């Protein structure tokens, strides 16, 4: 699973500006230096270090990764610092799920992955609860699915599969609205990892739930857990991820109503599900979790701009992972760390960026983009006047293909950059050529217009009167993809 990768990015406006011409000679030299300094072995070693241990936000091993990133920046002579926040996170204590068949037999279903020393499968911020009830299959758990189902799910445990375009939290919210007592969510994509569980959070909104709108720094106000503004961020019914194998064990035992025709064609485990329930299978589901104030750390390196030091270009990625995080997010963090290394090579040969560059390593993204949101909330005024662009990378390497999303201002920049990058998978062509020939490329315009949930800064800022930010997020392909930097020199 450990992919070795190279990344990415970089922005630049001055590339588009006529007055950058006067820098072009020097610029060319620095560009070649930047490109020639890429190295898969350094990225590989960063990735190895980052993924040695599971590094869930709020745990000792994740503060170790913060230290690793900080030491990396300082060893490169980059000006660096960390910011800490005490925020409300959520961890599992105990859970169990058993299936009770009509013939009297029952079976405990596995809720852990075989052989992995990682946090138990759970949905962060799910309430604790214990439910003994009939199971019902609700497809993707969308409103239209409940309508198609036409079955009363009140008091039942609903099983939903991922993929209908709803966020995890929304699936739970809809189930709650329809009267369900608990929700189990599985991923029926693919046949390769049927014992795996997809952890995630079910909180509404982003940021620390007890400091909505302001930075959760030492001494700042905290709302009580009983405050309505806090309570409405969390679901009222417990939920849990289950593996595809566990889902099949439950779904294959259901009776009563037949699977609606509309759902049948897209079901991956076609032979398995014939009926949707309710029951007669009963499930006994118990989840015990705790919400706990924990310390998280963002880490930054700042490279001061020479011409416009008060204009900031931010490059960021989160650092916390549900488990080992080889792809999400460490492939991106390894790339970010290599970028820092290469910037430092340029700096020691006399390069100065035109604008200030801030490298950001965020904590507790998996819990609801908490580290980045707290920092933005803390620095809102400053960022509103100084930040000109935010570039995010999360999973830098994840299967084949190139995926990018941005606000429209960066469309042409992305196209230009991808033209300069060699496609690591096909000899002699650029990423742009492969991308534009693919489905994603054909829909490129659409893709570029989309703003993913990961682009938290714009979300945070759009809820304020401050606008004018430009954002993008990049995911790269299965092999080495050294996107390059140009223009800002």
Q: Which residues are catalytic?
A: 365
For ligand NAG, the closer CB: 230 or 334: 334
Shortest Å, Cβ 52 to ligand NAG: 16
The 9-28 contact track toward ligand NAG, x by CB under 6 A, reads ---------------xx--x
Instruction: List the interface residues with ligand NAG, window 128-147 (CB under 6 A).
Output: 130, 132
Site size toward ligand NAG (CB under 6 A) is 18
Shortest Å, Cβ 318 to ligand NAG: 24
The 283-312 contact track toward ligand NAG, x by CB under 6 A, reads -x-x--------------------------
Looking at 40-48, 151-159, 165-173, 344-352, which segment touches ligand NAG (CB under 6 A)? 40-48
Q: CA dist 465 to 39, 194, 226, 380, 410, Å?
A: 42, 46, 30, 11, 21
Quick check: 170 binds ligand NAG (CB under 6 A)? no
Quick check: 4 binds ligand NAG (CB under 6 A)? yes
Query: What DSSP string describes 374-400?
Result: HHHHHTHHHHHHHEEEEEEEEEEE-SS
The closest alpha carbon to 159, from 128, 175, 183, belongs to 183
Instruction: List the interface residues with ligand NAG, window 55-114 (CB under 6 A).
Output: 93-94, 96, 101, 103-105
Instruction: List the interface residues with ligand NAG, window 111-130 (CB under 6 A).
Output: 130
Quick check: 37 binds ligand NAG (CB under 6 A)? no
For ligand NAG, the closer CB: 123 or 312: 123
Token reading at 485? 């930097």
Cβ neighbour number for residue 256 with a 10 Å cutoff: 14
Cβ neighbour number for residue 384 with a 10 Å cutoff: 16
Quick check: 265 binds ligand NAG (CB under 6 A)? no
Shortest Å, Cβ 191 to ligand NAG: 23
Contact 21, 285 (CB under 8 A): no
Shortest Å, Cβ 338 to ligand NAG: 12
d(CA 355, CA 281): 62
For ligand NAG, the closer CB: 41 or 228: 41
Shortest Å, Cβ 101 to ligand NAG: 5
Shortest Å, Cβ 27 to ligand NAG: 8
Token reading at 489? 């020199």
For ligand NAG, the closer CB: 46 or 234: 46
C-alpha dihedral sign at 50, 51, 57, 62: negative
Q: Mapping DSSP to helix (H, G, I), strand (E, B) and coil, where does residue 193 land?
A: coil
Quick check: 427 binds ligand NAG (CB under 6 A)? no
Quick check: 272 binds ligand NAG (CB under 6 A)? no
For ligand NAG, the closer CB: 93 or 449: 93
Using CA atoms in the order 69, 401, 445, 18, what is the torsion angle rounded to 10 degrees? Answer: 50
For ligand NAG, the closer CB: 108 or 443: 108
Sorted by sequence, the CB contacts under 8 Å of residue 118 that are 6+ apart come out as 54, 322, 323, 324
The 188-227 contact track toward ligand NAG, x by CB under 6 A, reads ----------------------------------------
Shortest Å, Cβ 26 to ligand NAG: 9
Sorted by sequence, the CB contacts under 8 Å of residue 183 that are 6+ apart come out as 141, 157, 158, 159, 160, 171, 172, 175, 237, 238, 239, 240
Q: CA dist 224 to 209, 220, 261, 293, 362, Å?
A: 10, 13, 47, 12, 25
Contact 285, 130 (CB under 8 A): yes
The closest alpha carbon to 440, from 393, 400, 407, belongs to 400
Shortest Å, Cβ 351 to ligand NAG: 17
For ligand NAG, the closer CB: 93 or 381: 93
For ligand NAG, the closer CB: 41 or 224: 41
Measure CA of the first residue to CA of the last residue in the chain; give whole Å: 36
Q: How many residues does the chain have?
A: 489
Q: Mapping DSSP to helix (H, G, I), strand (E, B) and coil, where does residue 2 land?
A: coil
Token reading at 76? 């490169």
> Residues in the site for ligand NAG, rule: CB under 6 A?
4, 24-25, 28, 40-41, 44, 93-94, 96, 101, 103-105, 130, 132, 284, 286
């Amino acid at each position: 699973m450990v992919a070795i990768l190279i990344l990415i990015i970089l922005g630049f406006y001055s590339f588009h500006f006529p007055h950058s011409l006067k820098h072009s000679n020097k610029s060319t030299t620095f560009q070649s230096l930047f490109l020639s300094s890429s190295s898969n072995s350094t990225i590989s070693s960063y990735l190895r270090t980052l993924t040695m241990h599971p590094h869930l936000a709020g745990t000792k091993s994740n503060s170790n990764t913060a230290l690793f990133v900080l030491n990396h920046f300082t060893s490169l002579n980059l000006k660096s610092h960390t910011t800490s926040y005490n925020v409300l996170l959520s961890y599992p204590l105990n859970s169990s799920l058993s299936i009770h068949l009509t013939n009297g037999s029952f079976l405990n279903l596995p809720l852990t992955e075989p052989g992995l020393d990682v946090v138990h499968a759970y949905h962060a911020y799910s309430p604790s609860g214990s439910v003994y009830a009939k199971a019902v299959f609700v497809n993707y758990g969308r409103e239209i699915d409940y309508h198609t189902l036409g079955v009363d799910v009140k008091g039942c445990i609903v099983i939903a599969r991922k993929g209908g375009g709803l966020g995890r939290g929304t699936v739970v919210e809809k189930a709650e609205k329809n009267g369900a007592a608990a929700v189990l969510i599985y991923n029926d994509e693919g046949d390769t990892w049927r014992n795996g569980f997809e952890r995630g959070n079910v909180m509404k909104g982003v940021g620390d739930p007890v400091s909505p709108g302001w930075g959760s720094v030492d001494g700042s106000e905290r709302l009580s857990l009983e405050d309505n503004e806090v309570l409405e961020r969390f679901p009222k019914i417990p939920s849990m991820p289950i593996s595809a194998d566990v889902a099949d064990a439950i779904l294959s035992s259901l009776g009563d109503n037949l699977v609606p025709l509309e759902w049948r064609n897209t079901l991956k485990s076609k032979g398995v599900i014939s009926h949707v329930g309710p029951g007669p299978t009963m499930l006994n589901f118990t989840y015990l979790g705790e919400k706990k104030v924990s310390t998280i750390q963002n880490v930054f390196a700042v490279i001061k701009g020479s011409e416009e030091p008060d204009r900031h270009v931010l490059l960021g990625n989160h650092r916390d992972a549900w488990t080992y995080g080889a792809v999400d997010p460490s492939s991106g963090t390894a790339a970010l760390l290599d970028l820092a290394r290469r910037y430092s090579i340029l700096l020691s040969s006399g390069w100065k960026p035109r604008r200030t560059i801030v490298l950001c390593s965020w904590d507790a993204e998996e819990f609801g983009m908490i580290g980045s949101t707290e920092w933005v909330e803390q620095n809102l005024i400053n960022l509103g006047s100084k930040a000109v662009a935010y570039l995010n990378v999360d999973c830098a390497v994840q299967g084949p293909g190139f995926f990018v999303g941005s606000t429209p201002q960066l469309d042409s920049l992305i196209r230009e950059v991808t033209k300069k990058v060699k496609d690591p998978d096909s000899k002699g062509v650029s990423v742009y050529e492969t991308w534009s020939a693919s489905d994603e490329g054909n829909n490129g315009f659409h893709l570029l217009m989309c703003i993913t949930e990961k682009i938290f800064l714009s979300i945070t800022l759009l809820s304020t009167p401050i606008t004018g930010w430009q954002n993008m997020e990049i995911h790269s392909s299965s092999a080495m993809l050294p996107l390059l930097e140009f223009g800002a020199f």
